[in-house]
Structure 1
């Protein structure tokens, strides 16, 4: 029996609460006196600290602020880390609630709280952090935001967890992929989300559009500017389907008016710092764009589903080594997939040229190859490669913290 106690994780209190909770690997909740996963709490605290760091220092060090468009800077890891943590928490918290009605009430109430605070904090009610002035013009109110995205992901994934609880067994078989088979409904939802996102992103025709400049400091204030598109499947700032869906559903006045793309080279001479928009900058540099919009928030559900999978590992795999092996291998696969999608797509071009010393009808064929990212890392679009890289990073960070916690000897 002594050997079994050594092998058992102190986080097993999440599954079988006991009176002795002196373990250094878990701690009690002040509200409900319930055991908590210490490594997850540490990860949450580090993510909050990272958020504060990039918010306060991002302006001075743009290399850690959000990437203006394609790319992935330090700030771009904050949102997917939070969604990953939400997913792990869903698996652990809903395990304790056997009544589906009670679970749905809890999920619905928490979703409403997230939506309320999201609209209050990011909807435009507070005019500035350092001004005690409040109020909002409902015709310009921002509907989307960080908490709204978390609310959507939490609601969808939590409901899947609640209503599919009876479709899997408590004790899984010993097969390598048994946990994927047991929670197949989660992966069906994930695949559906991915298909909807990719089909809309690459299949939607984006027509020309126009907007009114609301920046009072601009010489173009009040003027109507147009943006030429008329394309399908483009992922550039002005003509992507993510922005088009938001303009059609939310309305352009209800979108974020200070998008990160204004720090790009196309928009300002101060790039990568934020600066005045160039006089010859394209019109879309002054346009609004919603970084937490509808289509990108649907894609973000995948980050939470990956987090739920990691929570299921805690519930069903008993040994530290088995958990870490699964987590680390999953994280490395996600990282490799995301980086591959970002870096390794090439398109071949054929160029025809003639040697003047030979006949005019004697042509040579020169084959050139242009490489570009078919699915670039892009937080604004919440691209699939971005999901893979950030979720893989979250998996490795969480695994590292878990290792540190279990290696720490109990007091």
Structure 2
């Protein structure tokens, strides 16, 4: 992933014998909410509505968030050695393609828990807007081009080519929209639920209406917007700065060259402000090394060299649906007290979404595509998130098997720290800044080469072991120690 926050919430049930009262979702005073990369400090851990209810955490949600961070580190740092787990070059879904929608699913669940009650709407709105701006700031700082971590020991960005979009920016947009809908509709929710499987849907119909509007905007724009010919200058691969022209003149195209998603970003941000090394460069049409990276074919089409924004505007509107599905899972957690009632809602919806996605993909009606954030991709990844979340809930909250997942909980409770330091390479860049004679003679490079690659006589094996032990295991321990001292990085 090139590319993108925790909330106040209830703590997981220690075992299946825990009663319903212990499963009550914590409420947050004055509408305070936490984003996916945040966790409340100890001083707030016992603060609830009117200071009467103690705040607990959902262990399942922390573990699921930690799993997503671990997947991000794995695919980012081992994807080059194992292209099959890296992002799909276009249609299809790989391990890396689950990371972003899993984050957005978590955002939705956490919003539902954090905004269960909102005594003061204006205060909640201000907090939502402020937190959104913080996410946008950190996103641009980390992925806009200013940071060259972890390998290049320089910093700074040419504003002519700054990248405006990224992981945290997309999370911020989805969080802002979904949280505002939840906030402004708080007084429209029914106080009691009628029995039946669909009551939870009708009770929160305005949240679903917001997701449906996002769906309409995305689908109508994707299939009706006229995409004309366009041109670009390759600033990455051409020393002579040649200009290339891509022939389009069509509507409803879902290929790399002429889709509406790319066209909207070129018009809104400008072609120079898009991601300069999109994954489609690994397609067979572009390189003989497919699905890995490699030199361009001599007959590679012009668009192979073009920039493309995987976290762009139109695709981020589609991503709002991922957050909408996530908030539904949070609503189920709040309003259904029994394990079986919750799991019945979650698992059934997860399987329905998977079936819809598989039908759309294999009939070629709407292929699963992360770069376009297609509707089938939304359904497939949200369904998978729902199934994995349910499995974690059974293992951790119902059966009480918590110890094997503690390292995921620790990472999940300090997700912002691990995201910045590990996934974005800031800590490795700091260590690389202390070298002997040559920048490659640093501790990070020495450990990777001599402790892992040379010992196993395989760059691929050495790389995956380095990622597991020098990154994932290391940051699990760091997060555990920080949790022990109740130190968290929150926005």
2: distance between equivalents of 1:393 and 1:310?
A: 13
2:124 is the alignment partner of 1:112: no
2:346 is the alignment partner of 1:334: no
Q: Is the 8 A contact 2:75 2:95 kept in 1?
A: yes
2: distance between equivalents of 1:47 and 1:126?
A: 23
1: distance between equivalents of 2:43 and 2:141?
A: 26
- Alignment partner of 1:261: what SS? helix
2: distance between equivalents of 1:241 and 1:9?
A: 50
Deviation at 1:201, TM superposition (A): 0.3
| Alignment match, 1:10 | 22
Q: 1:145 aligns with which of 150, 166, 170?
A: 166
- Alignment partner of 1:68: what SS? coil
Q: 1:409 to 1:278 in 2, by over 3 A?
A: closer
* More displaced stretch, 171-180 vs 262-271: 171-180
Q: Is the 8 A contact 2:61 2:106 kept in 1?
A: yes
Output the aligned Cα RMSD. 2.0
- Alignment partner of 1:193: what SS? helix
2:374 is the alignment partner of 1:383: yes
Q: Is the 8 A contact 2:143 2:163 kept in 1?
A: yes
Alignment map for 1:334-373 (pairs within 5 Å):
334-344=353-363, 373=364
- Alignment partner of 1:140: what SS? coil
2:153 is the alignment partner of 1:132: yes
Q: 1:136 to 1:409 in 2, by over 3 A?
A: closer
- Alignment partner of 2:349: what SS? helix
Larger radius of gyration: 1
TM-score of the aligned structures, taking structure 1 as reference length: 0.86
2:386 is the alignment partner of 1:395: yes
Deviations 1:161-211 (A, max 9, x none): 000011112321212211111111111111111111000000011111111
Deviations 1:241-292 (A, max 9, x none): 0001111111000000000000000000101110111121000000000000
Q: Which runs of 5+ in 2 are unaligned?
A: 1-15, 30-38, 46-54, 403-491
* More displaced stretch, 78-87 vs 7-16: 7-16
Deviations 1:321-372 (A, max 9, x none): 000000000000000001100012xxxxxxxxxxxxxxxxxxxxxxxxxxxx
Q: Is the 8 A contact 2:140 2:164 kept in 1?
A: yes
Q: Is the 8 A contact 1:28 1:35 kept in 2?
A: no
Bigger share in strand: 1
2:44 is the alignment partner of 1:32: yes
1: distance between equivalents of 2:117 and 2:62?
A: 18
| Alignment match, 1:322 | 341
Q: 1:225 aligns with which of 211, 220, 244?
A: 244
2:187 is the alignment partner of 1:175: no
TM-score of the aligned structures, taking structure 2 as reference length: 0.72
Structure scoring higher RCO (CA < 8 A, sep ≥ 6) equals: 2
| Alignment match, 1:212 | 233
Deviation at 1:408, TM superposition (A): 3.4
Aligned residues: 369
| Alignment match, 1:85 | 106
Q: 1:161 aligns with which of 182, 185, 192?
A: 182
- Alignment partner of 2:76: what SS? helix
Q: Which runs of 4+ in 1 moved over 6 A?
A: none
2: distance between equivalents of 1:254 and 1:53?
A: 27
Q: Which runs of 5+ in 1 are unaligned?
A: 18-26, 345-372
2: distance between equivalents of 1:285 and 1:126?
A: 25
